[in-house]
Each structure stands twice: as structure tokens, then as C-alpha cells.
Amino acid sequence: MFPKTRLRRLRGRRLQPLIRETELHTTDLIAPIFIDETIEHPVFISAMPGQSRIPLQEIQSTIQRLYEAGIRAVILFGIPIKKDATASSAYDDNGVIQQAVRSIRSTGSDMVVITDVCACEYTDHGHCGIITESGEYPDLDNDRSLDLMSSIAVSHAKAGADIVAPSCMLDGQVQAIREALDEHGYTSIPILSYSSKFASALYGPFREAADSGYTCGDRTTYQIDPANGREAFRESAFDLKEGADILMVKPAGLYLDILKDIRSLGVPVAAYQVSGEYAMIKAAAEQGWLDEQQVALESLTCIKRAGADLIITYFAEDVCRWLNEKR
């Protein structure tokens, strides 16, 4: 005897759009941009097909293109001419990100500009702050690095950033940055904290893109062990208490359980579909093993379904085109 209740009744092709629970929109997406102060023409990123570093002089045209595609927010990463042990270029008023933000603002664009607040692209050792040589391995000097992050965040706000996004996973970084921003009069600048950032093996292509590979040690003493879900929740809860306005889970696709948990804290949540996630889909598609468009859209829809309000993804511009084609 057939059951009276049948789930398949609602799976008819014409009915599917009516009851779809999760819908991906272009306004969910944040596009990463790599701005390289050392180049005059775009440089292809071999580990991330379809992505390039761009020179400063192309930031305005890039922002215009992305805005016309439907993207309303970008996050900026800079590659400076000068690197040193204290990341002095990161908070220079004439640094690559500061120049890029001012250039965008000068156009009157409505694009939301988010800046990555970290030091790994600016240090000659590739770590995310100031390091100390004490102990068995080089490690971050937490409190000295807090002062550095505060200086970077203030310089970005001064240049015109809409949101600052600290990503180095220092204890107390959100509170330090919030206090510094408020002290300098930037009380309305939100903080998007990389609050649950894991020591993932999926960041490799990014290190080529941002020229941020480290020369010694690793980042496991300040990023979260991928095995630790409760620790990740505590990190986000602490950052929220310190003044974070938006929390982030990074990477996204393998950490949807974390994303769902962080959602329960009741504030907007971002997820970062990182370079390795992007590169894997691209590589499989190039081999003909997967349909790039279908897999990319499925992965992003699932990230949103798990609780993300915002998604940083290298597929952002492609997704805008695909979604517009479906209309």
C-alpha cells in the first residue's frame, strides 16, 4: 500500500522554484581583489585560474566592472613594494591598500570596501604579525602585534574603508582595534572578524596570490586546529563580546557545522570560500570531472543554507553572470 504522504509530490519541475528554501543572490557575495604595488599590468595567478593580481592603476576599472556585474562588496589584499620584520608598509598612509581605498572613494562608487587587516603580505618572514624568536619555533608576539593591527585598521579607516576585517587570530585583537578606531573618531566603522579561522591546508593558492608564504615555522599557534569545533565557537563568542559586528568562518565548505553553530550567536555571519576550495573546483572542471558552474553554485548555496549572510568567494563575478543568465 502506498503512503498517503509523499515528498515527491512537491518535487515536480514546475513546483521546485516555489518551495526552494535557500536562494543565492548577487548581494550575498564579496569579491576578493589582490592589488600589487610592484606591477604595471595584471599578473595571472597560476594556482587560481581566472584570478589575477592587478596594479593600482586598474583598481577603479576593476571596481566598476564588478559593480556592473552586480557585486556590491569587495575585500582588498595588498602586495607592497617594501616588506620588513614589522610590516611598516601595512599602516603607511601611502601604502598600497590605503592608496587603493582612496582611489575607489574618489570615484563616488557605492561599492562596500572591506580591508583585510593583517601583516602576512607585509612582513619579510610571512607571519601575520611581529614574531619572537623565543621558544622552539618562531611565534607571534601577541601584544606587540595588537598595536600593529590597531595601526593598520586606523589607517584603513582614515583612507575610507567601510569595514575593517582583522584576520591574524590574535587574542584581544577585536577589542584593541575597536578601542583604536573609537579613539580616532571612527566609531561607525564595523569590524568583520575572522573569528573562527582554522589552520587549514586549503590556503596554499592564496599564498601565491598574496605573496604571503612564511619562511619559518607555521601558523598553528594562532589559527585553530581543524579538529576543534568548541574552540572555534569560543573564539567567535569572545570576538563578539569584544565588539565584533560580523563574525567569519574560514574556510567555508568543510566547516559548515561551525558556520551553523556561529549563526546561533545572533549577529551577521560571513564565510570565506578560500583559495583551495576554488582551485579544487577549477582543477576538476578543467579535467572534465565536474561541471564548474553547477558545483560552484551548489557549494555557495550550501554555505548560505548553513547560515552565512555574506560569502567571500573567488567565483563572485562568475556567479553574478550565471545568476543573471538564469533570469
Q: Which residues are catalytic?
A: 197, 250
A 10 A CB-CB count for 156 gives 29
Provide the 8-state DSSP code for 78: E
Please state, in angstroms and rounded to a whole number, the distance separating the CA atoms of residues 319 and 278.
Answer: 13
Please state, in angstroms and rounded to a whole number, the distance separating the CA atoms of residues 261 and 201.
Answer: 22
Phi/psi for 74 (5° steps) reads: -130, 155
Helix (H, G, I), strand (E, B) or coil at 164: strand
With a CB cutoff of 8 Å and minimum separation 6, the contacts of 268 are 245, 246, 247, 309, 310
Count of CA atoms in the C-beta half-sphere (13 A) of 12: 6
Q: How many residues does the chain have?
A: 327
* Secondary structure (DSSP) of 261-315: HHHTTSS-EEEEE-HHHHHHHHHHHHTTSS-HHHHHHHHHHHHHHHT-SEEEETT
The answer to whether the Cα torsion of 190, 89, 79, 38 is positive or negative is positive
Secondary structure, 3-state, 182-205:
HHCCCCCCCEEEEEEEECCHHHHH
CA distances, 100 to each of 3, 19, 84, 158, 315 (Å): 62, 43, 21, 12, 22
Please state, in angstroms and rounded to a whole number, the distance separating the CA atoms of residues 19 and 7.
Answer: 12
Query: Pick from 122, 142, 163, 140: which is nearest to 268 by CA?
Result: 163
